[in-house]
Amino acid sequence: MRPYERMFRDYLAAMEPHVGPGLTFVNLGANDGITADPVYPFIRRFGWSGLMVEPLPHMASRLRENFADSPGIVIAEAIVAAEPRTMWYVDPAAGGIAYVTEQIGSTSRAHLLETIALLEANAEHIPLEPPVLAEYLDLVPDRPAPERTVATDIAEHVRELEAPCYTFDELMGE
C-alpha cells in the first residue's frame, strides 16, 4: 500500500456513514483538488457540488483542469481574508518534492519560511510519491523522480503574489 493510502482509506471509511449525495462544500486552499485532498473522493463518488478557493495561479490552473468536467464545482482564484493580503509561495521551479513545494503558501512570509524549515528538517520522512489514493493516481501529473529535499536555496524561490482578496461572506455572495 502506498504512503498515506491507509490514512485515506480509514478516513473514507469513518466519513462514509455521515456523507452522501447532495452535499455542498467549501474547500479553502484547494491546491489541485486531488493531492492529499479529503474531499475529492466524495466529489467523485457522490457528485458533490461546491466552491474551491485557491490563490496560487499554477495550482488554480491545475484545479480548473482537474474539474473541467464538473459543472457543480465553482473555482475562485483568490485569498479569503478580512482585509487585503499578500500571498507568499514557493515558485514551482524550486525543485525538490514538487507536490510539497508547489502547494504551500501563506499570507505570512515568516510562517511560510518556518513551514519550509520544518519540511526541510523532516524531508527524509516525506513520501516521494504524492498522497493520492491509488485509483486517482492517473489524475496527478507525471513528474520527474524527486530529490529527497523540499527545495534548494529556498530564499531564491519564495515569491510574492497579489491575488484578489474576499471575506468569506463576500465570496459566498458571488
Nearest to 48 by CA among 15, 10, 19: 19
Cell 481574508 belongs to which residue? 81
Burial of 116 (0-12, 13-18, 19+ CB in 10 A): buried
User: What is d(CA 154, CA 94) in angstroms, rounded to the nearest whole number?
Assistant: 7
On average, the pLDDT of the chain sits at: 81
Question: What are the two backbone dihedrals, phi and then psi, of residue 29, each rounded to the nearest 5 degrees?
Answer: 70, 50
**DSSP-H helix ranges across 28-142:** 40-46, 57-66, 98-101, 109-121
Apex 71 CA angle, 92 and 56, nearest 5: 20
pLDDT, position 65: 93
The yes-or-no verdict on residue 2 having pLDDT over 90 is no
Q: What's the average model confidence in pLDDT over 48-53?
A: 94
pTM given for the model:
0.80
Encode pLDDT of 58-104 as tens digits. 999 999 999 999 989 999 999 999 888 899 998 887 766 667 778 88
Question: What are the two backbone dihedrals, phi and then psi, of residue 166, each rounded to the nearest 5 degrees?
Answer: -130, 150
The yes-or-no verdict on residue 128 having pLDDT over 70 is no
Query: What's the order of all strands across the beta sheet hosting 49-53?
Result: 24-28, 49-53, 73-76
Residue 127's pLDDT band, with cuts at 50, 70 and 90, is low
Q: What's the average model confidence in pLDDT over 133-161?
A: 61
- Confirm if 31 and 65 have CB atoms less than 8 A apart: no
Residue 148's pLDDT band, with cuts at 50, 70 and 90, is very low
Burial of 70 (0-12, 13-18, 19+ CB in 10 A): middle
Structural domain spans, the chain: 5-173
Counting residues of the chain whose pLDDT is more than 70, the rounded percentage is 78
pLDDT, position 152: 52
The yes-or-no verdict on residue 149 having pLDDT over 70 is no
User: What is d(CA 19, CA 29) in angstroms, rounded to the nearest whole number?
Assistant: 22
